[in-house]
Chains A and B, each alone.
Chain A
Amino acid sequence: MRSLLRIQTGARTDLGRVRKNNEDSYQIEPELRLFVLSDGMGGEAHGEVASNLAVQTIVTHCQQAENSRATPIFGDSQPDVSERTNRLASAIHLANRKVFEMAAANPEQKGMGATIVAAWMEGQKLSIAHVGDSRAYLLRAGTLDQLTADHSLVAEKVRIGILTPQEADASEMQSVLTRAVGTSATVQVDATELILLVGDTLLLCSDGLTRMVTDPEIASTLLTSTSAQEAADRLIELANEYGGLDNASVIVMRVTQKSDGVLDRLKVWKRNSG
């Protein structure tokens, strides 16, 4: 089914002010309505290799699945999410395997890996899957919510209640991930889904943004930008203004309008008239 929602996208990645290479990768597939962002790790140029391979693998797998239902599923399917969301998770499982195999075959790449956050639209439904500390946020009716739970040591400690969010922000352990793509033979993927509404803004970003810029600043930037691309540019500029200690990448997606049928227009009229 073709989606009824119209979307506007913007994206940017930046080296930052300290790092010498950009280990982040991202890709937007407008036809597929697929958005993938990854933050690589592993020294030298290996982080770039890992994030790039992960992103390409995910895009290819989703494209194949779109063309043929016979495309194999990797990893265990979760019963509590849709087939589409399981497919996105499958793509990340495959990316994990590819990065892990490449690292195993090349001793100098040992330990390379990547985070992933991916979003895939089907009609009004959005599937989100992630591994690591790259995040998805939803801005809806002026309120920003983080849709993903970081797989980092400090975030896990906050979740079990032994660290406050403030302590986490100041911790030296922020770079310690509890899950990543490509660092072991299998990986646990978190996947979820939600219904998009006209007016929603979705943000995918690497930690180079969220370690520099607070959630309220992200919210006000998204709210006051006139286009998705302007929002992406301003977020990266903010990260650099506040120090740019790491590579930062963002994908911004805005749901702008729906091609309405008569009944939908009546519903909108009814809603507006209270």
Chain B
Amino acid sequence: MSQKIVIDPVTRVEGHGKVTVHLDENNKVTDAKFHIVEFRGFERFIQGHPYWEAPVMVQRLCGICPVSHHLAAAKAIDQIVGVDPEDLSLPAQKIRKLLHFGQVFQSHALHFFYLASPDLLFGAESDPLKRNVVGVAMEYPELAKKGILMRKFGQEIIKMVAGKRIHGISTTPGGVHRRISAKERSYFLDDKDIPSIDTMIKWSVEIIDFIKTYHITNKIFLNSFAKYPSGHLGLVNKKNGFLELYDGVLRATDAKGNITLDDVPNDDYNKYFYESVEKWTYLKFPYLKHLGKEKGWNRVGPLARINICNGIETPLAEQERLDFKAFSNGEINNMTMHTHWARLIEVLYCAEMMKNLLEDDDILSNDLIRKGERRKEGIGIIEAPRGTLIHHYEVDNKDRITRCNLIVSTTHNNEPMNQAVRWVANNVLDGNAKITEGMMNQVEVAIRAYDPCLSCATHAMGQMPLELQLFDHYGNIIDKKIKN
């Protein structure tokens, strides 16, 4: 008799998702899917609002990376008031970047230390009562302390620039609304009230050393678990193709490194992307038009970004990128679990960039806002912690938003996460009628590598756990795991 496994909810991710696995009469996997079962509809209810409200409203999509939505919307709204990214004042660009690096730094720290590290430190099949951040704090208190203080550092940067840690406001159309004071920045440099930015850089290097050692001792698991070929998409610097998180051009490669999207300007994204819809999930499936739905999907996020860029402008992170590339002999890296390593390289990059910006007197300047000629359309693309984030708005003559299209990072990673779930189904669950907690967690480990934000992706609200269901051949649920 065929069966179906259901994991509901998936834990230690942001959002409520469900995994279903179908088995045939011999308990062989016939299908596996990752479902997002929430719907919120931000794209619709922002219509009719004045355009200047967008950067404030859309950040309510998320409590983890509201800054990314705030900045992507701000970049789009800049264009509505006739200001392109390169036309912003230099101080405004630098203050926005400082905010963005603080955001990515704290979000990556949260993901690695709080959500992913329990699986790495204790093992995917270890006691679930221990396999959480409390367990990490008990057995690795120094690591936990660093994780907490690194996240706090990023949040304090956000608070300085945007007024508060969550849902603060920094941007105004064409710039930012306030400068940084000398006293405010010294808080991050003098090593008195909180560990300084130099300490953040030192700790970032130490945690990369940890993950590199971990890769040596767990090579087989990390190189094989949920590995599959895919495209890789992200922004790169428009001048030199280096890693770029705030403003760049779109680049994609296939699984072997062949260019499939060649440094395309943000305004042209619509010429290259389609989004398909499936009945079984609220999450859409973006893909490159010219490659089609089957071949045109891409991973986004740290692994993709490190794969596609030509280099990193900060010296310590660049050295780590070279070590990372050497591990795969310079080839494109399709090993899902290497995403954590790539994420930590970005942590170091953000720390180095924050130091550069904090020591730059431009952030103290009052030259903050530019104006231009009013336009009807604006597109803002940014690299959020989890990957490429697209905000697109159209506005009427009365300044009301008439159309909004959001493609968030987790949406790009929809097919990649489904691929990862299928890998675990085929390699771990296949042949088992009964799923153990350890097996179930391996499904979640694969999903967690992407650090998905399911609430952003479907614009959901409310409690957000995840479930796993096991279905038989007749469609009956024969096993179910739910975490709350």
Are A and B co-members of a single complex?
Answer: no
Interface, chain B (partner A; CB < 8 A): none
